[in-house]
Structures are given as structure tokens and as C-alpha cells.
Amino acid sequence: MILGVIADDFTGATDVAGMLVGAGMRTVQVIGVPEGPMPEADAVVVALKTRTCPPAEAVAQSLAALHALRAAGARQIYFKYCSTFDSTPQGNIGPVADALMDALGTDLAIACPAFPDNGRTVFRGHLFVGDVLLSDSGMRQHPLTPMTDANLVRVLQPQTRRRVGLLAQPVVARGAQPVRAKLQALRTEGVGLVVADAVANEDLLTLAEACADHPLITAGSGVALGLPPAYARRGWLQPDAGSAQLTPVQGPAAVLAGSCSEATQAQVACWKAGGRTALQIDPLALAQNDRHAQDLQAKALEALARGPVLVYATADAAQVKAVQGKLGTAEAGERVERCLAELARALLGAGVRRLVVAGGESSGAVTQALGLQQLRIGAPICPGVPWTQGLWEGQPLWLALKSGNFGGPDFFAEALQQAGVAL
């Protein structure tokens, strides 16, 4: 194994795995730390669900993943978080980065969420989503990790014991050698975590080349774009062009949406506008008794005979706020996630073999409930979202785990069509 990746959520894990596969690295994603041996691959991505859990739990799980990856021979460790730097002043990006650096005995790592192909760029330490600052994007109203400051040096500093510094774009634009020199200068000044700018894929390639020998990289999926070529240049990797093949499957299809991000809101609206079956989860009704969940399940299974069905909890910021005011943020989220997980089990029991899940936490809940242990990574549906293949009760299942903010308005239909579903 060359690279061991620790991903803080499930959609993020498939995102970075897709990036590595696309650049020719044989990659397997495992769901949590496997009890048995790690799979044989150039890269193994351990999917955790640690983005919003208490920091101590995130640290413990990340360290367990680190030990397993190192025991399997990983030369380099990559801590993958969201391209919108989803975190709170308590963590979990800072605490996990600190713990991994301590365990690896390294005093410097970059922090770079940039993913230009998806409109996430970092300039002078400020994260942009498309043309607006992170703090002006829909992320300011995220149900669990609202991002109200775009200055990543300022966002990261309260989360970490280390000093946070900046590697600005003009240096990155000059190439890997000037980047190495600047990182060394920052290290001498006592900086431990370096927010790294990147506004284009070339910057990601430069960062990857400059940091391919670091024990730890912390980043979104973007920097992973440059690692396979950097490893190949070092003679560690023989790129494999056929690494993204999945076995075709038959059977009904469904979409489960637990994300409230603006992109997912648009995708739900587009699906409904196309006259397709859509059933809405009401979190307040879920909290009253079991009837709402049972009702949704019965309706979803009945609708499957007529074509793909979407079940969604997706709502706008005002609706989410109202629900959270009544139930509390954590309870609202957990109830919706439990409902989605039960729906997924029922849908697969009824024969569904192609399933799209929208939302990082939501995907984690569904994947864990299905008891999936490994995912093979297939072709991308859009930047950051590949189809994956797992085994459910011994049968192949196609699963697309979509980060809430990814994909165009017609993403659900595009994904299903790519999986061979007639619409």
C-alpha cells in the first residue's frame, strides 16, 4: 500500500477514492476499520463518520484507522475532509490533524480543501464556493456545521494546538521547489498546520508533488488528483488505466436524500418537476410515533413497481430551523438518518440494486445500516461522485454516495441513467 486515506465521512471517502482511481491507482474503500486484514491495493480509503461526532471520538477512530493503515504498510497518510472545510470551533479537523501528526511524529502538514473542478478554490487563505466566499454560500446555513467565516487560518486556529500559517497562491504558482522552501521557512517559524492556496488543478499538482514525501497530508479530495503522478515519478506506482470497472446489475432503483444543501434542494425540485415519484419525510411526524416511517416505507415499496422513487428529508433553511427548534439539532438529524437507513434496508429487501444517497451524514447512516464492508470504485457521475459497488447479503449493489453540495440539478436522473436504469 502506498497511500492510506482516513476520510471523515462516507461521501468524502468515495470522492477521494474516485479521484485516485481516475488517476490510475488501484483503490479500495473500506467502511470503518476492518476487523480482518486490509485489502490489497495501491490505496485504501477508510470511511469514517467523524465529521460531527464529539472530538475525542473522532480522534480515537482516526487513530485506529491510522494504526491499521500503517500496519498494512501505507507510506503516506491522507486525512480527507470536506471541500467546504465543514467543522466547528471544537473540531473535528484540528483535533484529528493534531492527533495524527503526534502519532506520526511530524511537525508540519498542509491543510487544503480546494477542489477547483467543483468550484472550491482557496486564495490567500480564503475559501470560495463558486464566485462567493464560503461564508456567503449556502454553507452558512448548514444544519450541523454552519460555516460563517471564509478565512481558513482563522477557522482552523481555535481547533488546533499548533500554530496555523499560510502558503499563498503566488508561491504555489511558482512550483514545487518554492513551495518546499516556503514550507520549510514556515516550519522554522514554528508553524505546524499550513493552509495552502489552490485556485486551479495545476496548483493541486504542485502541492501534491511538494508534499508526496510528507508523512501526512490533510485536504479535501483535490490534492489527491496529483498524488498518483507524484508517486509514479518516484517509481512507487505503475498507473492502471482499467481500475474503474464495475459489474453491471439489474433491478429497481431508488434515491434517498437527507441533505438540505442548496444543490440537493435543486436536485429534489428537478426530480419532482420531471413528474417522478417523490415522497417527503416529515421529521416532526417521525418524532411523534412510528406510523409516518411505516407509511413512507409502504408507499415507497408500492411505487417501485412504476419506476425509481425518491424519498427526501431535504428542506430549506427556514424549515430546518423550525424543526431543529422543536426537536434539537442532533435529534432531528438522528431521526432523519434512522428513517433513511430503515428505508434503505426495506428498499434493498424489495429488490433495489441501484441506490443513490444524497448527504454525507445520510450516506454514512445508510451504508452502516446496510452493513457494507468494502466498496469498489467505478466511473464518475460528476466531479467528486463515482458509482461504487458493494456486496449486500452476498449480492452486488451499486451505490452512489453524493456529498450534499455536489452535482447539477438533474444529478439523480443522470446517475440512474449511467447505471443503466431506463427513465
Q: State the Cα–Cα distance between residues 374 and 345, nearest whole angstrom.
A: 17
Our CB check for ligand ADP shows the closer of 330 and 379 to be 330
Q: State the Cα–Cα distance between residues 422 and 320, nearest whole angstrom.
A: 34
Pairing mode of beta strands 126-129, 27-31? unpaired
Rg over CA atoms, the chain: 21
Q: Is 67 helix (H, G, I), strand (E, B) or coil?
A: helix
**Residue 342 binds to ligand ADP (criterion: CB under 6 A):** no
**Residue 348 binds to ligand ADP (criterion: CB under 6 A):** no
- For the CB of residue 306, give the shortest distance to ligand ADP in the complex, in Å: 25
Q: Which of residues 387-406 bind ligand ADP (CB under 6 A)?
A: 403-404
Our CB check for ligand ADP shows the closer of 231 and 406 to be 406
**Residue 300 binds to ligand ADP (criterion: CB under 6 A):** no
- For the CB of residue 293, give the shortest distance to ligand ADP in the complex, in Å: 13
Q: Which of residues 280-299 bind ligand ADP (CB under 6 A)?
A: 283
Q: Which of residues 113-142 bind ligand ADP (CB under 6 A)?
A: 142
Cα torsion angle, 320, 325, 329, 331, sign? negative
Instruction: Name the burial class of residue 370, with classes exposed (0-12), middle (13-18) and buried (19+) by CB atoms within 10 angstroms of its CB.
Output: buried
- For the CB of residue 161, give the shortest distance to ligand ADP in the complex, in Å: 27
Q: State the Cα–Cα distance between residues 213 and 405, nearest whole angstrom.
A: 32
Closest CA to 217 of 182, 193, 197: 193
Q: Which of residues 306-325 bind ligand ADP (CB under 6 A)?
A: 313, 315, 319-320, 323-324
**Residue 97 binds to ligand ADP (criterion: CB under 6 A):** no
Closest CA to 390 of 350, 413, 363, 414: 363
Phi, then psi, of 167 in degrees rounded to 5: -110, 105
- For the CB of residue 323, give the shortest distance to ligand ADP in the complex, in Å: 4
- For the CB of residue 292, give the shortest distance to ligand ADP in the complex, in Å: 13
Whether the CB-CB separation of 104 and 33 falls below 8 Å is answered with: no
Our CB check for ligand ADP shows the closer of 12 and 22 to be 12
Phi, then psi, of 358 in degrees rounded to 5: -105, 125
Whether the CB-CB separation of 47 and 7 falls below 8 Å is answered with: yes
**Residue 15 binds to ligand ADP (criterion: CB under 6 A):** no
Instruction: Say how many C-beta atoms besides its own lie within 10 A of residue 193's C-beta.
Output: 27
Q: How many C-alpha atoms does 236 have within 13 Å on its Cβ side? A: 20
Q: Is 166 helix (H, G, I), strand (E, B) or coil?
A: strand
Applying CB under 6 A, the site for ligand ADP has a residue count of: 24
Our CB check for ligand ADP shows the closer of 169 and 264 to be 264
Closest CA to 115 of 221, 8, 14, 15: 221
- For the CB of residue 422, give the shortest distance to ligand ADP in the complex, in Å: 28
Rule CB under 6 A: choose which of 91, 258, 378, 407 binds ligand ADP.
258
- For the CB of residue 312, give the shortest distance to ligand ADP in the complex, in Å: 8
Which region, judged by CB under 6 A, interacts with ligand ADP, from 34-42, 207-215, 356-364, 388-396? 356-364
- For the CB of residue 13, give the shortest distance to ligand ADP in the complex, in Å: 13
Q: State the Cα–Cα distance between residues 275 and 277, nearest whole angstrom.
A: 7
DSSP string, 239-250: --TTTT------
Phi, then psi, of 143 in degrees rounded to 5: -60, -35
Q: Which of residues 361-390 bind ligand ADP (CB under 6 A)?
A: 361-362
Rule CB under 6 A: choose which of 29, 259, 265, 389 binds ligand ADP.
259
- For the CB of residue 206, give the shortest distance to ligand ADP in the complex, in Å: 29
Whether the CB-CB separation of 420 and 248 falls below 8 Å is answered with: yes
Q: Residue 96 gets which letter from DSSP?
A: H
Residue nearest to ligand ADP according to CB distances in the complex: 404
Binding mask 26-55 for ligand ADP (x = CB under 6 A): ------------------------------
Our CB check for ligand ADP shows the closer of 181 and 330 to be 330
**Residue 360 binds to ligand ADP (criterion: CB under 6 A):** yes
Residues within the interface to ligand ADP (CB under 6 A): 142-144, 258-261, 283, 313, 315, 319-320, 323-324, 332-333, 336-337, 359-362, 403-404
